[in-house]
Amino acid sequence: MSKENCESKARKKIAASIGATPEEIYFTSGRADGHLKALKAVVKASKKARPHVIITTMEDREVLDECSRLERKDAVVTYLDPITTGRVEVAMIENELKENTELISVTAANCQTGTSEPFTGIGTMTSEKGVIFHTDAAFAFGKMPINVERSHIDLLTADASYFGGPENAGFLYVRKSTGAGEYVSETALSEETLTVMSDMAESLAAKATTFMEEIRPVRNHMCERIFAEIEDVELNGHKDHHLTNHLNIRIKNVSAAVVQKALKEEGIEAGIGTNSNILAAIGRSKAESAESVSFSLKAGTTMEDADKIVDSLKEIVTGERTVL
């Protein structure tokens, strides 16, 4: 197969996975690259003098840095803080709209807290207001159904490494009617990378609903046991609006780094958020962030697996607090 045919086939599969058309798909080197390309393209395509951009304070550092650069000469930027659950409500965004608002960028689901944002509600509002809406779906893609037409999404970024695909590869969807596509500089990816990424995107999108239904009771069981059996644990994120496979908790007076290391020795992966701008955005201090641990359950995780995680976590926490 020629490189051209490989790219065409990959665009078709990726486009079908989110309800777009192949000519609206651009290849990137990953999450931050796609997000930066989206920001720059929309600002360049804008016919407004110093267009207004609304972005949340929970975005990648590279993206926030790019917004700072845009602010110096090309755009006006509003940095929106979420409520303490990590949620950005539609009304919060609507209150920040100006006559020259061009772009709103909100992550579909947060990579640390797992909180899912009301992206369909935001998209519906922005389409009515004539404002372009971008969502970073890197962490959400494959874990929930996403359709750009149904949710009125104008630009969407995804990262292959976040859904088990190749490193340094991703895609950016740009709605043709925005006119921003002609300002996107596409990243060249190998045929092998394109094939693996597009095949996985196709497969995950088809299984997203099933994945949610199967993993939800496992995550809920794990969550219920943790809060019932371990004292002084707090949830980071929204109680109801979250990815069905993700959980982030603060364990008071216990170092997250110690927990992560101890769990890894038992073959259990956990994430930590030390010095996280995301946890800071929802009101966590540096000390509280250093006590925060996250779990992302993979497809096929069983109740027994969840029990193993909780049993191990209980033992580690008990041991650390006994030392204190």
DSSP notation for 144-170: B---TTTTT-SEEEEEGGGGT--TT-E
Q: Is the alpha carbon torsion for 88, 89, 95, 100 positive or negative? A: positive
Tell me how far apart the alpha carbons of residues 101 and 270 are, in angstroms, rounded to a whole number: 39
Q: How confident is residue 43, by pLDDT bands cut at 50, 70 and 90?
A: very high
Sheet of 292-296, strands arranged across: 233-235, 246-251, 292-296, 271-272
Q: How confident is residue 4, by pLDDT bands cut at 50, 70 and 90?
A: confident
Three-state SS at 104:
strand
Over range 105-116, report the average pLDDT.
95
Rounded (5°) CA angle 53-125-79: 25
Question: In the predicted model, is pLDDT for residue 324 greater than 70?
Answer: no
Per-residue pLDDT tens digits for 112-152: 999 999 999 999 999 999 999 999 999 999 999 999 999 99
Residue 323: the pLDDT is 66
Per-residue pLDDT tens digits for 166-207: 999 999 999 999 999 999 999 999 999 999 999 999 999 999
Q: Token pair for residue 287?
A: 């000390």
Report H helices in the chain.
3-18, 31-45, 61-73, 90-94, 119-129, 191-229, 256-265, 277-281, 286-289, 303-323
In Å, how far are 86, 144, 162, 233 from 114, measured between CA atoms?
9, 12, 13, 17
Lookup result for tokens 């045929």: 191
- First-to-last alpha carbon distance for the chain, in angstroms, is 63
Rounded (5°) CA angle 182-186-191: 140
Cβ–Cβ < 8 Å for 193, 161: no
Can you say whether residue 253 is alpha, beta or left, with left for phi > 0 and alpha for psi between -120 and 50 degrees? left
In Å, how far are 130, 213, 229, 259, 309 from 303, measured between CA atoms?
46, 14, 16, 21, 10
The rounded mean pLDDT for the chain is 95
Tell me how far apart the alpha carbons of residues 186 and 27 are, in angstroms, rounded to a whole number: 6
Residue 128: is it exposed, middle or buried by C-beta count within 10 angstroms (0-12/13-18/19+)?
Answer: exposed
Instruction: Give φ, ψ of 145 to 5 degrees.
Output: -70, 135
Total residue length of the chain: 324
Residue 273: the pLDDT is 77
Question: In the predicted model, is pLDDT for residue 234 greater than 70?
Answer: yes
Pick 49 or 153 by higher pLDDT: 153
